[in-house]
């Protein structure tokens, strides 16, 4: 798995998907640039999300707020005081970790133990096995479960109270060892604020300090009434946004999974207080379905409920994806109550209430949000599409089986050879297709080599123009996944490809 991940990263660079930022200066830690193919894939993902949110839901509109916001925004949102990660260092390896993540990993290990016990018993008892009865009576399972519940409760308390000594005690009690040094020689747990700051205007004074937004959501909250009034929106309604966010992640690793500059696609859904659980369940199901329609395999997604809730939430879960390094958070779904709007009211002194004409009363709406990291979504598609294949003739190929609607290029136009009028014919075909489908033209190298290059960037179809084309106006269409070719009339090509490449 580790090797596979390395190969994916190398492939992403070699084929113009992702480059380290400012690479000629040896890169910048946890910052990446998207290359010519990566930018196309990323744009397609954005479009897919944006259309789903704003076209398929007539009560959701999109905005594009600025990255810089009035500094009081971050006081009101709680980020100045509470957006801290508890960090711990191993004294031997000198590596720094998030203490809450170490503890959650330890909990996951205990959960694994329970699953192993269940599996073992399943084998032993065969048809007579009853899982319910087993887990409520087996002594070992009960012991693990008790420990899990206790640990979760302690973690929740420690995080809720910002009690760093209690976090450290948990690391000690769980006997967590550093994966690198193998030792349990830990420093105290300390908190780091994740926001980047800079100065606005020319004077470097504390009063001019502003932050780069650590989430896009606040741009939506502060515009809530602007949108509601100008758009004549009625509750329930949503506001969607795609944009950059910045976090000074202390433990930045795992390629584009955890970056310091990244992109979020968020939607805040404004609802009547008291209806939050209904809408929370609604968006959980909707978002899961959306991911599954991408076609990467339903078994690669699962929900993970949060037991330790962030300062703003009364219910929260993640949609996790099976990344090369295991199941990890891809999207968060949070019931944020009226936490944000209420605090913006308090700090700004401006009313942020909605007048409900049916109820004939004003209230601060509740919010359920869906928040997906665009870069993590990109990584999910890239890592699952990447496949190394052994072919029947003994040769090997690397193919990106990117779902056709998301592929950077939909079709490659390839004249078999560079003469006899084939390039001219190819150009005419391309001119007919290029306004509807992103085309890639290539005439250099043997045709087999060109097919391989298209496989490597995930182009779902190759059109080859050969001598027969000049005689009967047909071309071959090669399918990336099956590598099969079929002869098709030029007149039928466009409709066929548009059909195959639409969502």
Residues that bind ligand ATP (CB under 6 A): 215, 247, 249, 258-259, 262, 264, 329-332, 371-373, 375-376
Least Å distance, CB 290 to ligand ATP, is: 14
Q: How far is the CB of 485 from ligand ATP (least distance, A)?
A: 39
Instruction: List residues forming the annotated binding site for ATP.
Output: 247-249, 257-262, 329-330, 373-376
Angle at 228 between CA 225 and CA 232, to 5 degrees: 145
Q: What is the dihedral of CA 476, 480, 482, 483, to 10 degrees?
A: 50
| 3-state secondary structure at position 430 | helix
Q: Given CA atoms 47, 48, 52, 55 in this order, what sign does their dihedral have?
A: positive
Query: With respect to ligand ATP, which residue has the nearer C-beta, 309 or 490?
Result: 309
Burial of 307 (0-12, 13-18, 19+ CB in 10 A): middle
Q: Which is nearer to ligand ATP, 29 or 208 (CB)?
A: 29
CA distances from 148 to 153, 159, 441 (A): 9, 16, 57
Give the single-character DSSP code of 365: P
Question: Of the two residues 114 and 317, which places its CB atom closer to ligand ATP in the complex?
Answer: 317
Burial class (CB in 10 A: 0-12, 13-18, 19+), 280: buried
Residue with Cβ nearer ligand ATP (171 or 437):
171
How far apart are CB 33 and ligand ATP at their closest, in Å? 15
Quote the least distance from Cβ 41 to ligand ATP, whole Å. 16
CB of 419 to ligand ATP, least distance (A): 49
Spatial separation of the C-alpha atoms in residues 133 and 110, rounded to whole Å: 20
Residue placing its CB nearer to ligand ATP in the complex, 338 or 375 = 375
Q: In this structure, are residues 9 and 3 in contact, taking their beta carbons and an 8 Å threshold?
A: no
Q: What residue numbers does the annotated binding site for substrate cover?
A: 98, 215, 262-266, 369-373
Closest approach of ligand ATP to the CB of residue 363, in Å: 26
Nearer to ligand ATP, 117 or 329 (CB): 329
Task: Name the binding residues.
Answer: 98, 215, 247-249, 257-266, 329-330, 369-376
Could you tell me where the beta strands, DSSP code E, fall in 247-365? 261-271, 301-305, 315-323, 326-337, 354-356, 361-363
- Going from the C-alpha of 365 to that of each of 98, 270, 355, 449, the distances in angstroms are 34, 6, 10, 58
Closer CB to ligand ATP, residue 247 or residue 480?
A: 247
Cβ distance to ligand ATP smaller for residue 259 or 381: 259
Alpha helix segments (H runs only) across 55-128: 72-76, 79-82, 99-125
CB of 145 to ligand ATP, least distance (A): 24
In the complex, what is the shortest distance from the CB of residue 21 to ligand ATP, in angstroms, rounded to a whole number?
Answer: 14
Paired tokens of 284: 């959980």
Residue closest to ligand ATP, measured at CB:
373
Nearest to 103 by CA among 142, 153, 146, 139: 153
Q: Are the C-beta atoms of 55 and 453 separated by less than 8 Å?
A: no
């Amino acid at each position: 798995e580790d090797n596979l991940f390395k190969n994916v990263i190398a492939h992403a660079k070699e084929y113009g998907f992702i480059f380290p930022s400012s690479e000629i200066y040896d890169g910048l830690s946890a910052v990446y640039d998207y290359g010519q193919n990566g930018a196309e894939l990323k744009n397609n993902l954005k479009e897919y999300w944006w259309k789903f949110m704003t076209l398929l839901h007539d009560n959701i509109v999109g905005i594009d707020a600025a990255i810089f916001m009035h500094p009081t925004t971050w006081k009101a949102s709680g980020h100045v005081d509470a957006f801290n990660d508890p960090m711990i260092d191993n004294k031997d390896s000198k590596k720094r970790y998030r203490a809450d993540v170490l503890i959650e990993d330890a909990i996951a290990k205990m959960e694994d133990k329970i699953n192993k016990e269940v599996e073992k018993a399943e084998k032993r008892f065969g048809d007579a096995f009853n899982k319910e009865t087993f887990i409520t009576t087996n002594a070992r399972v009960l012991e693990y479960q008790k420990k899990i519940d206790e640990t979760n409760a302690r973690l929740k308390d420690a995080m809720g109270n910002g009690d760093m000594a209690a976090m450290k005690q948990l690391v000690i009690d769980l006997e967590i060892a550093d994966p690198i040094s193998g030792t349990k020689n830990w420093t105290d747990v300390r908190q780091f604020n994740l926001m980047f700051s800079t100065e606005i205007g020319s004077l470097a004074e504390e009063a001019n300090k502003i932050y780069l937004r650590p989430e896009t959501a606040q741009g939506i909250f502060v515009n809530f009434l602007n949108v509601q009034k100008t758009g004549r929106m009625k509750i329930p309604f949503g506001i969607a946004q795609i944009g950059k966010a910045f976090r000074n992640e202390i433990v930045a690793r795992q390629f584009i999974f955890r970056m310091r500059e990244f992109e979020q696609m968020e939607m805040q859904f404004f609802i009547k207080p008291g209806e939050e659980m209904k809408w929370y369940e609604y968006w959980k199901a909707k978002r899961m379905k959306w991911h599954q329609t991408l076609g990467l395999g339903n078994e690669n997604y699962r929900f993970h409920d949060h037991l330790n809730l962030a300062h703003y939430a009364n219910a929260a879960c993640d949609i996790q994806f099976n990344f090369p390094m295991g199941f990890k958070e891809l999207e968060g779904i949070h019931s944020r109550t009226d936490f944000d709007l209420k605090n913006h009211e308090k700090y700004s002194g401006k009313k942020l209430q909605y007048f409900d004409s049916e109820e004939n009363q004003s209230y601060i709406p509740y919010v359920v949000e869906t928040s997906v990291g665009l870069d993590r979504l990109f990584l999910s598609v890239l890592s699952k599409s990447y496949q190394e294949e052994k072919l029947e003739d003994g040769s090997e190929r690397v193919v990106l089986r990117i779902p056709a609607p998301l592929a950077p290029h939909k079709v490659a136009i390839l004249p078999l050879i560079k003469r006899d009028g084939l390039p001219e014919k190819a150009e005419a075909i391309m001119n007919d297709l290029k306004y509807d489908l992103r085309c890639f033209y290539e005439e250099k190298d043997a045709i087999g080599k060109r097919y391989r290059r298209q496989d490597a960037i995930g182009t779902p179809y190759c059109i080859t123009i050969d001598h027969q084309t000049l005689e009967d106006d047909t071309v071959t269409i090669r399918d990336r996944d099956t590598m099969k070719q079929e002869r098709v009339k030029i007149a039928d090509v466009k409709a066929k490809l548009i059909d195959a490449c639409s969502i």
